[in-house]
């Protein structure tokens, strides 16, 4: 059922409508998509690892074939440069291929065996075998700042398809044309693999009601979301208030604190200033891992660092933000912050685009204003000047949950870094050493999550091989005949899955 109400995308660079009309889907469309996904869910869950492997590679191949068209449209809808979008598309296809390898590797199934012991006293011990199975249809929300890698065929979709879950994507309204092209690539791959189209559905629209309807639908069994704290928390609450509450894997907001220790500052202050400027302004400050607060110890070297950062801010060229709404929010929030006592401000004055903003404050003022930890999405950051290393340790104990935490240290700083490290483990999903947090490697060990508000499920990751586990649940099989067991648990092990038997 297709709606006749349409909307158009807006070019954020010109603020003009782009060609193309896209459907404003509604609750009826949600119901049809979820019902269709539910109808194929059991069959898709039981597809072989090889079938899912082939599907993920087919989607990646289809995206590569349409690379030029995808990048051209994404550039118009996001104002991001072609080089960035080409890199993001390569990351998207790499994620799909990574999860194809994950599926074939079999570790995600977590096959665990407890051997039977009929002679055990006082009661015989039964044969128990456990594996993970797909949850069922899941919903994925596209992100504004990554129109490809965290969107229609992004990491959430790739990991869910790998797990054996049909996917209903609620596309981000900022880039409907890009989402539409990518969805057609997925449809092509499904057709080529002789799999039902209902395994993947794209829903488009600009209303909050559409997203709410997706989360509340009784056939949706989990949700992946990347976006604001306000929007994500509202949807999280809906997911928990359902008659059947469901997992809501929300990536919401993070300050990504950075600690530059004195020895490193002494030896690298100019380089650190240059790297900081690059990281906080990357993608117009619209990366979820942007360093929004940097802690430094007061001294001559820190003064030189700050002078270099201020000069870099003043000379920074303006950039275009992803949407007019994001731009308006950035300007309003940063202006509100600039009016608060205890902060000094250095900003750029670009001819076009939004200004970059550097705030500076003392550790005492920072401690008295916990609201300064709240993320402002855009090219701004706060430097907190501490009197001592002990003060750094104290402030690290008051941080909110974050995706990352970073330590810059030379060997002479290791005693302080060693004390700082366990404090940062409390608040971050990824700890970075002598680098900057922007950029998330797609790999087996990566964690992209963290305590709230970084994410709503701190035990999970939305990037890397472990992301597949969000869409799975364990099932134990007690005394089930071998012929009836799932293939991964059969005695002959036809899939050659690695197993844990009696704890070994």
| Cα 46–chain centre separation | 27
Fold of 258-433: Aldehyde Dehydrogenase; Chain A, domain 2 (3.40.309)
26 sits in which H/E element? none
Is 251 a catalytic site residue?
A: yes
Whether 3 has a pLDDT exceeding 70, the answer reads no
Report residue 323 as tokens. 């949407």
Query: Among 399, 52, 25, which Cα is nearest to 193's?
Result: 52
- Of 288, 297, 375, 391, which is the active-site residue? 288
Quick one: pLDDT at residue 108?
96
User: Using CA atoms, how far apart are residues 284 and 178, in angstroms rounded to an integer?
Assistant: 20
Half-sphere exposure of 314 (CA within 13 A, CB side): 8
Percent of the chain with pLDDT over 90: 98
CB 500 within 8 A of CB 111: yes
The string of DSSP letters for 323-389 reads: -HHHHHHHHHHHHHHHTSTT-EEEE---SSSBPPEEEEEEHHHHHH-GGGGS--SSSEEEEEEESSH
Specify the pTM: 0.96
Is 185 a catalytic site residue?
A: no
Which superfamily does 23-252+458-489 belong to? Aldehyde Dehydrogenase; Chain A, domain 1 (3.40.605.10)
User: pLDDT digits over 462-481, tens only?
Assistant: 999 999 999 999 999 999 99
Whether 424 has a pLDDT exceeding 60, the answer reads yes
Least-confidence region, from 69-73, 348-352, 363-367: 348-352
∠ CA 437-439-444, rounded to 5°: 100
Domain boundaries, the chain: 23-252+458-489, 258-433
Give the pLDDT band (50/70/90) at residue 93: very high
Mean pLDDT of the chain: 96
Residue whose entry in the numeric block shows the structure tokens 């302004």:
281
Report residue 118 as tokens. 């009929």
Whether 383 has a pLDDT exceeding 70, the answer reads yes
- Of 251, 360, 375, 466, which is the active-site residue? 251
136: left (phi over 0), alpha (psi -120 to 50) or beta: left
Quick one: pLDDT at residue 136?
98
Please list, in sequence order, all residues whose beta carbon lies within 8 angstroms of the beta carbon of residue 399, skipping any fewer than 6 positions away: 255, 257, 373, 405, 427
Quick one: pLDDT at residue 4?
73
∠ CA 330-337-305, rounded to 5°: 95
Quick one: pLDDT at residue 2?
60
Query: Among 157, 199, 150, 203, which Cα is nearest to 176's?
Result: 203
């Amino acid at each position: 059922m297709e709606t006749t109400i349409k909307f158009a995308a807006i070019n954020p660079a010109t603020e003009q409508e782009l060609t193309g009309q896209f459907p404003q889907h509604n609750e009826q469309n949600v119901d049809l998509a979820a019902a269709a996904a539910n109808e194929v869910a059991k069959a898709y869950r039981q597809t072989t690892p090889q079938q899912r492997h082939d599907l993920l590679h087919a989607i990646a191949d289809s995206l590569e074939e349409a690379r030029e068209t995808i990048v051209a449209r994404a550039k118009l809808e996001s104002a991001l440069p072609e080089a960035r979008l080409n890199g993001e598309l390569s990351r998207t296809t790499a994620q799909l291929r990574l999860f194809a390898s994950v599926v074939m590797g079999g570790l995600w199934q977590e096959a665990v065996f407890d051997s039977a012991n009929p002679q055990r006293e006082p009661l015989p011990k039964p044969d128990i075998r456990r594996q993970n199975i797909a949850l069922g249809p899941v919903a994925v929300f596209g992100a504004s700042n990554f129109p490809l890698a965290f969107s229609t065929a992004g990491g959430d979709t790739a990991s869910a398809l790998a797990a054996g879950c049909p996917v209903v994507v609620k596309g981000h309204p900022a880039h409907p044309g890009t989402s539409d092209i990518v969805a057609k690539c997925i449809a092509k791959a499904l057709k080529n693999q002789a799999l039902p189209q209902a395994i993947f559905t794209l829903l488009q629209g600009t209303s909050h009601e559409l997203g709410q309807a997706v989360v509340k639908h009784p056939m949706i069994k989990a949700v992946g979301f990347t976006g604001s704290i306000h929007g994500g928390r509202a949807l999280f609450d809906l997911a928990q208030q359902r008659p059947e509450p469901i997992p809501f894997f929300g990536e919401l907001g993070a300050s990504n604190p950075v600690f530059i220790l004195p020895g490193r500052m002494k030896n690298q202050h100019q380089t650190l200033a240059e790297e900081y400027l690059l990281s906080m302004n990357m993608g117009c400050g619209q990366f979820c891992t942007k360093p929004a607060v940097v802690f430094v110890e007061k001294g001559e070297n820190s003064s030189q660092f700050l002078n270099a950062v201020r000069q870099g801010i003043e000379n920074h060229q303006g950039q275009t933000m992803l949407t007019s709404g994001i731009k308006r929010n950035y300007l309003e929030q940063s202006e509100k912050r600039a009016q608060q006592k205890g902060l000094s401000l250095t900003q750029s004055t670009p001819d076009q685009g939004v200004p970059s903003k550097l705030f500076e404050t003392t550790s005492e003022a920072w401690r008295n204003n916990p609201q300064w930890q709240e993320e402002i999405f855009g090219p701004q950051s706060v430097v907190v000047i501490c009197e001592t290393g002990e003060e750094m340790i104290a402030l690290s104990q008051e941080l909110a949950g974050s995706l990352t935490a970073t330590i810059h240290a030379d060997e002479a700083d290791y005693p302080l870094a060693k004390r700082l490290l366990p404090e940062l483990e409390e608040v971050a999903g990824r700890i970075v050493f002598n680098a900057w947090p922007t950029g998330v490697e797609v790999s087996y060990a990566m964690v992209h999550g963290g305590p709230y508000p970084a994410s709503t499920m701190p035990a999970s990751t939305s990037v890397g091989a472990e992301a597949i586990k969000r869409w799975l649940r364990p099932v134990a099989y007690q005394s089930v005949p071998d012929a009836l067991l799932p293939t991964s648990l059969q005695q002959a092990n036809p899939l050659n899955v690695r197993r844990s038997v009696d704890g070994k």
